Amino acid sequence: MIVLAMALAASGTLPVQSQLDQIDRTFICPEDLPTDEAREAALLVFNAQVQAVQPGLTLRQLIEYRYSMLAKHQCTKTLEAMRGR
């Protein structure tokens, strides 16, 4: 997330932190959503939100930011699935 914040700050985007805060406030753990379709839709919204804040973000940065959000929101089932447990 630090890399993302630094990249966003360097881009000159106005209220970057408030946009990141909005993404954080609306983030829902995938395991808390009722269906695969809802999880897929939430992922698309998340990706669109992040890309709106920083259009030039690399895939790696996007994945790292999503992982940090999953950890912050204690999405243990999703994190365990990602780790292959």
User: pTM for the complete prediction?
Assistant: 0.77
Q: Where are the domains of the chain?
A: 2-83
* Distance in angstroms (rounded) separating the CA atoms of residues 27 and 68: 11
State yes or no: pLDDT of 5 exceeds 80.
no
pLDDT of residue 31: 97
CB 62 within 8 Å of CB 50: yes
Q: How far apart are CA 42 and CA 37, in angstroms?
A: 9
pLDDT-based confidence at residue 68 (cuts at 50, 70, 90): very high
Mean pLDDT, residues 34-61: 94
Average pLDDT, the chain: 87
Instruction: Give pLDDT, residue 11.
Output: 52
